[in-house]
Amino acid sequence: MSKPRVRSSDADDYQGVPRPLAAMAKSFAGGFEIEPHQHPRDQLVYAVTGVMRVRTEREAWIVPPDRAVYLPAHTVHAISIHGRVEMRTLYIAGDARADLPPTPTVLEVSGLLRELVLAMIEEPVIYDEKGRAGAVAFLILAEIARARRLSLVIPMPRDPRLLRVCTALLADPASRQTLEGWVDTAGASVRTLARLFEAETALSFAVWRQRVRFHNALEAIVAGTPISQVAARNGYHSSSAFSAAFRKVMGQVPSSLRVDRPAA
């Protein structure tokens, strides 16, 4: 009896598959960096476990489990891995369905979509479109189309001076440096930096940094860190004040992220 062929973990092997959807499984150790790249197909990037930071030229997201990023074809993006990540990626043909997201966005992964993605990994890459796998693929596309879009986005600037500041803050959200403290890094005055923040991100420095901190808090919350500790690390004196501010910015209370799911 011949051994089953091992599923490829090379994304290039899935771009020309003669099926509307191809599923890839890959594991990453914490700290791994995936350099900027793009794919001919649309991509759904989903971490069953761990947290990812996904960045395009104009936006960045911090993505915990039960969230996924949808990237249309040819979107240049980079991914940072935080903690061990079990990534499940779908590569989707452009004509697979007309109502898929037209721009990069974060989607809520329903329990059904999660199980469908895991089921698709167990099917052959060249699956029977009239069989079980074809039905699973059809349902996956339907679930993606109806999935709730989430505003978990951090706008990124184009100006290289401000981009240096924003990149440094993404790497160290806990930094307490004021805008004045970033003058040397940027090579621009405080007034110029403040103007650039408003013009290029539509947010003030304080609001942009707060959003980054709340995104960063997702990692600690998902990891099970007590809300009181997360609040203190982000400059809040009480869990209730942190939770209220978090909900206002992120659209959900911190405790809603604590959904224990078994790893795939």
- pLDDT tens digit string along 43-91? 999 988 888 889 898 888 878 777 899 999 999 999 988 778 899 999 9
Environment class of residue 48 by beta-carbon count within 10 Å: exposed (0-12), middle (13-18) or buried (19+)?
Answer: buried
Domain check: are 52 and 72 in the same one? yes
144 and 164 co-located in one domain: no
The domain total for the chain is 2
**Does 16 lie in the same domain as 100?**
yes
Nearest to 90 by CA among 129, 56, 39, 34: 39
Domain that holds residue 171: 157-257
pTM confidence score: 0.77
Q: Answer whether residue 263 is part of any domain.
A: no
Whether 197 and 234 share a structural domain: yes
Q: What is the dihedral of CA 61, 67, 68, 70, to 10 degrees?
A: -70
Q: Are residues 126 and 249 in the same domain?
A: no
Lowest mean pLDDT among 104-108, 113-117, 155-159, 170-174: 170-174
Please, what is the Cα angle at 144 between 138 and 149, to 5 degrees?
170
pLDDT in the model for residue 258 = 57
Say whether both 144 and 165 belong to one domain: no
Tokens found for residue 181: 């403290």
**What are the angstrom distances between the C-alpha of 43 and each of 68, 133, 201?**
10, 19, 25
Dump pLDDT digits (tens) for 218-260. 777 877 888 988 888 877 888 898 888 888 877 778 877 654 4
